[in-house]
Copies of this chain bind each other. A is one copy, B any other.
Amino acid sequence: MGPMVENAGVEFLRDMVRSGGRDELVEALKALHPADAAEVLATLRPEEIARFIEILGPETALPIFEFVPFEVQKETLEYLPRNVLVQLISNMRPDERADLVEEMDEVTKDRLLALLIQAERQNLLKLLTYPEDSAGAYMTTDYALLRPETRVRSALDQLRLQAPKKETIYYAYVVDDARRLVGIVSLRDLIMARPENLVGDIMHTNVIAVRVDMDIEEVAKEMVRYDFLAMPVVDGDNRLVGIITYDDIFDVMTEEATEDMYFLANLDTDEKVSSPLRRSVVLRVPWLMVNLATALVVSYTVHVFSDTIQQFVVLASLMPIVAMLGGNAGNQSLTVVVRALALGEMQLKGNWRIVLKEAGVGFCNGLAVGLVMGGIAYLWHRNLWLATIICMAMTINLVVAGLFGAMVPITLRKLNLDPALGSSIFVTTATDVGGFCAFLGLASLFIHQLLSP
């Protein structure tokens, strides 16, 4: 990390922005990676960032500005003079530009679109039409193109010319007259080939590409599978429309992991640790209300056995043990299955085997914790019937935990819903109801034996 990423750096940058010495600023920034410069920059106020861009000029400032967090970018744009704004936006990477414009209000968006040249406007409008989680929404349209009949020598010349404007030139995409993707050639292939060879002779023709409407999580899986640096994106007619690069996949993988974890904990993906209190409250309370509804079902289950509890109040203090272990075991099964579904480790068919296995694990572990708990219950209350009943209830409940832990996410997936979404509430409710029914039900059946063991 650069030396400027200190508190001193912020003051230094602020001073520079105030005094407006461009050369000094350029000199100071040279020593920093754009990502580090952006970190300092993001701590300034939006109007100061705007001033920074003006001083430096949009072209020099852009590589840094692209690393500034999205929210800060948006606010900064409002403080930029029109001509600087247009230059900045025109030079941005098409995918990042589309992401930014997408978030603008209609008035700002229209004003901006009017300022762009025709070709860029159309490109932008096109990118804006792709659904949020599709390959189209993540791809860039700045990729290197070659023709099969080009010689390697001039292909290299062409890439040299394209280099400053393209996101990557390490892969070049070979298209025919109709812009259909016919091959891929890496820069490595090109510099290793003889200059007089044709691109068409050295290109790889068994092209792997994804459709523009493919879900981005699936695209990520494919890229990880093939270790691709960039993945070409084609439309329904196999015409090349963009590429997705490895750094987009870094972001997708992070978002995806957050989503799975959040869904398992009944959280909204919009929430962050830094969200204001009010926002966190609003985002979490709906899930708690859903849970309250299912908790009432659990409560009613216990209510049914009120008489038994009143006759033998020890049951009330042992109940939570059955519920807690069931909840924990259910969560184990749930998480293993949710993760396997996310990683594509499970097929759509033959999942009953996994459900059976989880039930089997539940049986074994239920018996294990049940026997230990039975022993403890006997030592505590000197009641063999109680010990037997809690052992049986825990075994039954952990089987329930395994069954529901596996079935709930598999079912959600079959319904085309996210396998993690709300699933922990279902599973916990199943294990609570199952556990209390088993424990209190058995206790009711054998209440006489319990009372005079």
Contact = CB atoms under 8 A, between A and B. Distances in A.
A44 interface: no
A76 interface: no
Nearest to A251: B224
Interface string A379-408: 000000000000000000000000000000
A163 B254 CA distance: 32
B372 A289 contact: yes
B306 A272 contact: no
Given A296-B376, A340-B272, A345-B272, A187 B170 contact: yes
Interface in A126-170: 156, 159-160, 163-164, 169-170
A265 B331 contact: yes
A90 interface: no
A119 to B, nearest CB: 24
A114 interface: no
Contact of A229 (B229, B265, B338, B373): B229
A258 interface: yes
B250 A332 contact: no
Interface stretch (A104-112, A232-240, A297-305): A297-305
Given A284-B361, A314-B306, A191 B159 contact: yes
Given A261-B260, A280-B361, A319 B316 contact: yes
A26 interface: no
A325 B288 contact: yes
Name which of A223, A262, A329 has the most chain B CB atoms within 10 A of its CB: A329
B285 A299 contact: no
A369 B314 contact: no
Contact of A254 (B35, B229, B288, B343): B343
Contact of A35 (B225, B266, B318, B332): B225
Interface string A242-270: 00001101110110111011101111000
Contacts of A316: 302, 306, 309, 316, 319
A87 interface: no
Nearest to A186: B170
Nearest to A322: B295
A354 interface: yes
Interface of A: 1-2, 30-33, 35, 156, 159-160, 163-164, 169-170, 187-188, 191-192, 206, 208, 223-227, 229, 246-247, 249-251, 253-254, 256-258, 260-262, 264-267, 271-274, 277, 280-281, 284-285, 287-289, 291-292, 294-296, 298-300, 302-303, 306-307, 309-310, 313-314, 316-321, 323-325, 327-329, 331-332, 334-340, 343, 345-346, 354, 357, 360-361, 364-365, 368-369, 372-373, 376, 424-425, 428, 432, 436
18 contacts: A33-B208, A35-B225, A163-B192, A224-B250, A227-B250, A246-B246, A261-B335, A265-B335, A272-B340, A273-B354, A287-B332, A288-B365, A292-B372, A299-B321, A302-B316, A307-B313, A320-B436, A331-B424
